[in-house]
Amino acid sequence: AMYGGDIGDGGDVALEAGTAYEGYGGAVKLTAGVSLAGTGGSVTINSGMGAKTTSGSISLLTSNAGIAGASGDIQVQTGTSSSQRSGAVLISSGASGKEMAGRIQISVG
């Protein structure tokens, strides 16, 4: 764990792959651990809580395409299973005590 900022801002963690002049830019891959006899490790991405105000956001996006290319895809997929159910894809917004709950919007184009 990395810690920072006791009074001011919290410390940032930046994870960035390398730039390429030609070819592919470096990739960033997060992979949890494998278990040979039990349950494999999980990957959790969680924004920070604002104790008195708004919590942080999570943005998952691809960059714009260059002049002659297509922008990248975003894929959300669970693994397959040969003996039990496969994992579910769950999308939900949080409840609110005073305002309307956050909306879920899916748009094309």
Q: What is the pLDDT of residues 74-86, one digit of tens each?
A: 889 999 999 999 9
Question: 33 to each of 65, 75, 94, how far by Cα in Å?
Answer: 33, 21, 29
Give residue 86's pLDDT.
92
Give residue 96's pLDDT.
87
Give residue 1's pLDDT.
52
Residue 27: name the closest of 76, 77, 72, 89 by CA: 72
pLDDT band at 4 (very low <50, low <70, confident <90, very high): low
Question: 106 to each of 47, 78, 109, how far by Cα in Å?
Answer: 22, 19, 10
Q: Tell me the pTM.
A: 0.70
- Residue 63: how many CA atoms within 13 Å on its side-chain side? 5
Q: Please enumerate in sequence order all residues whose Cβ is within 8 A of that of 79, keeping only pairs 6 or more positions apart, or say none.
A: 86, 87
Give residue 99's pLDDT.
85
